[in-house]
């Protein structure tokens, strides 16, 4: 039978694509008419070279036409036509290559039920295909069908005993986004039962237990994984994470002991140094910095990590030296290094050098921050108009960057106590972009300074309507009411919602402590305020904590909190006002 050469080329090209292209969620593109939520992200193992069993299908003109129609529809942005055509071809031919291609096309278009049917045909046509089984399991998990996915997961794990550890780590990624964490924990625990001597299996159970809030099981399984592989840094870091939930001291002690036995563990040493910094054990942290730099003198990533840790420890001389060394090592993101050099020199009051570094940041994620800090230094030097002009004239790539520079300009005006000017500036920007969330929020905060509570509440309620997950909108409205001792029960409910959206945010924890204080629930209030202050020793949190301690009769503790905060933030208005009210 003679076939047109172009038709043969198109058909064989499609079949070749089927054989070569892995079906992975990462390759998915947006398409209309999604049937279900996007499939979870999962890394599919690259299959070993093998010949799939092929059915005796004749390449007829009709088959050629359908293949061509499907591919052309795909190229023209008609995924519904392509999915339907490929699914019909997979049913008709039972060819694993066509079924694979049908699965890929349906998955990319988010036609999940079609993808699941095509993947089922693919697996039936090639039962030994690990890739097909992984895709079927992934699709079933995405549809919350854990029981249906289980036999496929069991077969997948058993298919390659030599690499079952890697399969368990992929399994954790596959199931991580499933909403029922207890069900996932139960499933993973049962899947891991036949593999008690596989450290990756034990660690996967530990991670699932952690997500299901089974902390003791999580710790025991992570420790078991580490016992099976004593030098495994990933397991050691996970054990430290679980211990840190109880106290940083336990985590520090554990990591120190691990490093004594495994001194070459780079990632553990970096995390050990980070914990020491958070515990303000700067001398010990500095020793870790030196060890890391000496061990990896040509590693720019290590140098960058050490520089950032030195900045956290307020060791700006060391940070400056490391950052300059990182630049010489051709770090992958030099503009970020230049930005941090600007910050370091700003902290050292070397403003001329800081301006030089900030002005050298020409692009990248720190570009806007560099412009804002450049202008901030000018404002500190009494050059507010020049600072504003710098922000207004800075080149931008899009409207979002322009909004960010406007926000930075408004912040300069607030810092100069020009609250009306900041309010007007943000209002003008809001007229052009009336539904821009960050502008609504900043304009509301500017309104609060002018006692324009009607504008504040209107903006924040509009923001909540537009972005119901914007935790700080609930928090700001609730705090404003609590601070004025108005509608306190409503304030509590707003802050409670914010806390559910961002349970570890220190400012929202502070707001909850403050509203509880207004409600007369001092014991609960103290817990929230102390947690907030430990996470972020902010001057306004210090003001609230000190006030609560003072009214509870703990005058000495209150004075210490205030005095320590005042040393770091002598100009803070809220802190100064609070101290004058209670301890003039």
CATH number at residue 91: 1.25.40
- State phi, psi for 251 to the nearest 5 degrees: -65, -40
Question: What is the predicted pLDDT for the residue at 103?
Answer: 86
Domain that holds residue 137: 1-45+55-143
pLDDT at 21 over 60: no
Comparison of pLDDT for 245 and 239, the residue scoring more = 239
Q: Assign 3-state DSSP to the chain and report helix, strand, coil percentages, each to 5.
A: 75, 0, 25
Query: For 120-135, what is the mean pLDDT?
Result: 81
Residue-wise pLDDT tens digits, 315-325: 899 999 999 99
Tell me whether residue 390 is in a domain: no
Of 11-15, 229-233, 247-251, minimum mean pLDDT range? 11-15
Produce one character per residue of 492-505: b if its CB has 16 or more CB atoms within 10 Å, e if not.
bebbebbbebbeeb
Residue 412 within a domain: no
Give me the torsion for CA of 381, 335, 348, 573, rounded to 10°: 60
Are 342 and 358 in contact, with CB atoms under 8 Å apart? yes
In this prediction, residue 42 carries a pLDDT of: 32
Among the listed residues 207, 144, 174, 180, the one whose alpha carbon sits nearest the alpha carbon of residue 24: 174
SS3 of 317-352: HHHHHHHHHHHHCCCCCHHHHHHHHHHHHHHCCCHH
Q: Is residue 64 part of a domain?
A: yes
Q: What is the mean pLDDT of the segment spanning 34-42?
A: 33
- What percent of the chain shows pLDDT beyond 90? 54
- pLDDT of 1 higher than 60: no
What's the distance, Cα to Cα, between the start and end of the chain in Å?
A: 102
Calpha distance 391→405 (Å, rounded): 6
Q: What is the largest CA-CA distance in the chain?
A: 102
Which pLDDT band, with edges at 50, 70 and 90, does 36 fall under? very low
Residue 9 is predicted with a pLDDT of 35
Backbone angles phi, psi at 265, to 5 degrees: -75, 95
Has residue 222 been placed in a domain?
no
Residues 494/475, Cβ–Cβ less than 8 Å: yes
- Residue 95, helix vs strand vs coil: coil
The encoded tokens of residue 420 equal 């009306």
Dump pLDDT digits (tens) for 405-461.
Answer: 999 999 999 999 999 999 999 999 999 999 999 999 999 999 999 999 999 999 999
Domain count of the chain? 1
Domain assignment present for residue 65? The answer is yes
Structure-model confidence comparison of residues 286 and 234, the more confident one: 234
Residues 72-97 pLDDT 10s: 878 888 888 888 888 888 888 888 88
More confident of the two residues 360 and 123: 360
pLDDT value at residue 11: 41
C-alpha distances (whole Å) from 436 to each of 47, 433, 439, 443, 461 are 47, 6, 6, 11, 13
In this structure, are residues 303 and 326 in contact, taking their beta carbons and an 8 Å threshold?
Answer: yes
pLDDT tens digits for range 369-403: 999 999 999 999 999 999 999 999 999 999 899 99
pLDDT of residue 524: 93
> How far apart (Å, rounded) are the C-alpha atoms in residues 114 and 120?
10
Query: What does the pLDDT read at residue 83?
Result: 83
Q: Is residue 173 part of a domain?
A: no
3-state secondary structure of 312: helix
- If you average pLDDT over every residue of the chain, what do you get? 85
**Domain-embedded: residue 381:** no
Q: Confidence band (pLDDT; 50, 70, 90) for 29?
A: very low
**Is residue 374 one of the residues assigned to a domain?**
no
Kindly tell me if the per-residue pLDDT of 41 is higher than 60. Answer: no
CB atoms inside a 10 Å sphere around CB 307: 26
């Amino acid at each position: 039978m003679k076939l047109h050469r172009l038709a043969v080329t198109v058909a064989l090209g499609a079949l070749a694509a089927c054989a070569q292209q892995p079906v992975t969620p990462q390759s998915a593109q947006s398409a209309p008419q999604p049937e279900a939520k996007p499939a979870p992200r999962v890394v599919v193992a690259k299959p070993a070279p093998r010949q799939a069993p092929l059915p005796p299908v004749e390449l007829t003109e009709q088959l050629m036409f359908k293949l061509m129609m499907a591919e052309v529809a795909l190229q023209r942005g008609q995924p519904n036509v392509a999915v339907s055509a490929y699914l019909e071809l997979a049913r008709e031919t039972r060819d694993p290559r066509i079924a694979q291609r049908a699965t890929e096309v349906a998955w990319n278009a988010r036609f999940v039920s079609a993808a699941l049917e095509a993947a089922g045909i693919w697996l039936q046509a090639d039962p030994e295909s690990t890739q097909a089984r992984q895709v079927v399991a992934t699709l079933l998990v995405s549809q919350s069908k854990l029981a249906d996915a289980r036999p496929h997961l069991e077969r997948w794990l058993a298919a390659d005993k030599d690499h079952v550890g890697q399969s368990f780590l992929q399994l954790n990624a596959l199931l991580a986004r499933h909403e029922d964490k207890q069900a996932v924990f139960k499933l993973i625990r049962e899947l891991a039962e036949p593999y008690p001597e596989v450290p990756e299996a034990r660690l996967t159970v530990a991670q699932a237990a952690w997500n299901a809030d089974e902390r003791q099981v999580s710790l025991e399984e992570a420790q078991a994984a580490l016992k099976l592989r004593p030098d495994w840094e990933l397991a050691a870091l996970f054990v430290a994470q679980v211990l840190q939930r109880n106290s940083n001291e336990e985590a520090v002690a554990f990591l120190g002991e691990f490093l004594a036995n495994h001194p070459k563990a780079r990632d553990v040493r970096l995390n050990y140094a980070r914990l020491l910094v958070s515990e303000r054990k700067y001398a010990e942290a500095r020793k870790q910095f030196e060890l890391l730099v000496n061990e990896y003198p040509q590693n720019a990533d290590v140098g960058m990590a050490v520089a950032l840790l030195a900045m956290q420890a307020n060791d700006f001389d060391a940070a400056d030296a490391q950052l300059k060394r990182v630049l010489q090592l051709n770090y992958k993101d030099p503009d970020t290094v230049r930005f941090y050099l600007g910050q370091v020199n700003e902290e050292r009051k070397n403003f001329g050098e800081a301006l030089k570094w900030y002005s050298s940041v020409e692009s990248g994620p720190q570009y806007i921050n560099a412009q804002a800090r450049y202008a901030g230094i000018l404002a500190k030097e009494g050059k507010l108009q020049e600072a504003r002009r710098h922000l207004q004239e800075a080149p931008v790539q899009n409207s979002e960057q322009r909004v960010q520079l406007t926000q930075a300009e408004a912040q300069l005006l607030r810092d100069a106590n020009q609250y009306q000017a900041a309010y007007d500036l943000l209002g003008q920007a809001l007229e052009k972009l009336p539904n821009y969330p960050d502008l609504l929020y900043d304009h509301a905060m500017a309104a609060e300074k002018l006692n324009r509570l009607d504008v504040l509440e209107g903006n924040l309620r509009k923001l909540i309507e537009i972005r119901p997950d914007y935790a700080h909108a609930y928090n700001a409205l609730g705090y404003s009411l609590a601070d004025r001792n108005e509608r306190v029960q409503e304030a509590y409910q707003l802050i409670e919602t914010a806390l559910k959206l961002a349970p570890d945010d220190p400012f929202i924890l502070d707001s909850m402590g403050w509203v509880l204080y207004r409600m007369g629930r001092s014991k609960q209030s103290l817990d929230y305020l102390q947690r907030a202050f430990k996470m972020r020793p902010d001057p306004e949190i210090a003001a609230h904590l000190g006030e609560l301690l003072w009214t509870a009769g703990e005058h000495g503790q209150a004075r210490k909190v205030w005095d320590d905060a005042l040393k770091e933030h002598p100009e803070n208005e809220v802190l100064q006002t609070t101290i004058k009210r209670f301890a003039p």
